[in-house]
Amino acid sequence: PGTNVYQIRPSEMYFHTVGDMPAAFAARKTMRLVFRQDVMARIPAGLYDVRFEIRRDGNLFSLSGQTNGVYEYQFNALRVFDKSSDAYDVINVTDTQVSVGDLYDSKTQAKLDDFVDYVSRTTDPTVRKAAFITFNGDLHNGGSPGTLRQRGVAMTYNDEAKVITNALKRLTFPIFLVPGNHDG
């Protein structure tokens, strides 16, 4: 109490394959956590950062030779909804095709920054009441004007990913990303 930190434990945990997963995901080592309504009932409506921890015998687990425990933060990863409404607005964005290091910077990277700044700072009630933002494909441009070589293209993706991530983490909404054909 008073810390604005809530510890919740999943109602169910599924490791590796789950019957209703697409084949591509079922082949991976995955974990799905389910939080039932009764578990979430004491958490106030709002947007939360989430810290995932690996614990063993109640203690934060550390790898051999590591002083820190194993954990990861996901910022703005959880939105708890007010039960009084079952209808929410969504902001939908598609085809930002952010490019770096070429003539499209001002038309893509700067426009993504403009969008993030507007959505994060606006007082427009239509925008503020949105429950989350979906980015429906092609966040990256994924092109490499100087080369078609694998390493050069990979570095372009890496540079684009840094720019995109730095912009998106400034958003004050949960984000759902859907890959497109440019998102290698």
Q: Who has greater pLDDT, 151 or 34?
A: 34
DSSP 10-30: -SEEEES--TTS-HHHHTS--
Strands 55-56 and 59-60: antiparallel
Q: What is the pLDDT of residue 67?
A: 78
Cβ-contact 7, 38 below 8 angstroms: no
Q: Rounded mean pLDDT of 71-89?
A: 76
**Whole-angstrom Cα distance, residue 21 to residue 17?**
7
Mean pLDDT of the chain: 80
pLDDT reported for residue 89 = 85
What DSSP assignment string belongs to 68-93?
S--EEEEEEEEEEPPTT-S--EEEEE
pLDDT of residue 184: 64
Q: What percent of the chain has pLDDT over 70?
A: 78
What are the b/e assignments for 73-86, b being 16+ CB within 10 Å?
Answer: eeebebeeeeeeee
Residue with tokens 């209808």: 87
Per-residue pLDDT for 164 more than 60?
yes
pLDDT of residue 102: 63
Residues 105, 149 contacting (CB under 8 angstroms): no
Of 45, 52, 46, 49, the C-alpha closest to 9 is 52
On whether the CB atoms of residues 169 and 75 are closer than 8 A, the answer is: yes
pLDDT digit string (tens) for 24-35?
Answer: 666 766 677 888
- Per-residue confidence (pLDDT) for residue 118, from 0 to 100: 95
pLDDT tens for each residue of 86-134: 677 889 998 888 887 766 666 788 889 999 999 999 999 989 888 889 8
